Chains A and B, each alone.
Chain A
Amino acid sequence: GQQLNQSPQSMFIQEGEDVSMNCTSSSIFNTWLWYKQDPGEGPVLLIALYKAGELTSNGRLTAQFGITRKDSFLNISASIPSDVGIYFCAGPYVGGAQKLVFGQGTRLTINP
């Protein structure tokens, strides 16, 4: 089936550092979604991307829809303790836009 490969799987950083993570697919996506899951909670949508090349920001978060439509990137600038959690990329199933396929997640840990 469809798969999204997310990397890195985990990151351990110091507070204040910038963070970069990415998501790649073997097939083309028309939409990329980035979710964050706080410890003990369900994922919450951070950013949605709908157009190849699109760059969208949400506060200190910036996400990009890759030109090839097979990848997407999420950057977090000047990390703070509340950025801790698991970040997931997601995209619609081929032929089934109402279902999403998710990456394996990137677990972010921040040392104060």
Chain B
Amino acid sequence: DVKVTQSSRYLVKRTGEKVFLECVQDMDHENMFWYRQDPGLGLRLIYFSYDVKMKEKGDIPEGYSVSREKKERFSLILESASTNQTSMYLCASSLGGFVETQYFGPGTRLLVL
């Protein structure tokens, strides 16, 4: 079974703090994704990585950056957290090629005060 793990289930941070969300997958997947989930808006793609050190902006990249130094690990960074970044953050991975099926981690619920 594919396993995607996220470093924290719940996180509380203050406005202006730098926040790191970590994601690890154990199935040697090429692709990794970061989404945020807000009620009524579904899942919106923040960033996508298709290889080590490679990244592509999603639909809502503003205020976020990412890092992929190793194939199994994909980090989402909030450079200066703001209250409108309070949300559920979901990491996912997929095999690559034309296989679209994505496997999700349990999510990190972030509250920015």
List residues of chain A with CB under 8 Å of any chain B CB.
Answer: 1, 4, 6, 9, 31, 33, 35, 40-45, 48, 88, 92, 97-105
- Judge whether B42 and A105 touch: CB under 8 Å: yes
Q: Does B48 contact A (CB under 8 A)?
A: yes
Most buried by B among A41, A43, A45: A43
Interface pick from B66-74, B76-84, B99-107: B99-107
Most buried by A among B40, B43, B94, B106: B43
With A1-B59, A42-B90, A105-B42 already in contact, the answer to whether A100 and B102 are too (CB < 8 A) is: yes
Set of chain B residues within 8 Å of A44, measured between Cβ atoms: 104
A38's nearest neighbour on chain B, judged by CB, is B106
- Contact residue range for chain B? 20 to 34
Top 8 closest A-B pairs, CB basis? A42-B104, A104-B42, A102-B43, A102-B42, A92-B100, A43-B104, A42-B106, A42-B107
> Residue-by-residue, is B12-49 near A (CB-CB < 8 Å gives 1, otherwise 0)?
00000000000000000001010100001111110010
Given A6-B42, A31-B100, A43-B104, 10 other A-B contacts at CB below 8 A?
A: A42-B92, A44-B104, A97-B100, A98-B31, A98-B50, A100-B100, A100-B102, A101-B45, A102-B35, A102-B43
* CA of A1 to CA of B61, assembled, Å: 14
* CA of A100 to CA of B42, assembled, Å: 12
A83 to chain B, nearest CB (A): 19
A41's nearest neighbour on chain B, judged by CB, is B106
- Judge whether B103 and A45 touch: CB under 8 Å: yes
B40's nearest neighbour on chain A, judged by CB, is A104
A56 to chain B, nearest CB (A): 14
Q: Does B110 contact A (CB under 8 A)?
A: no
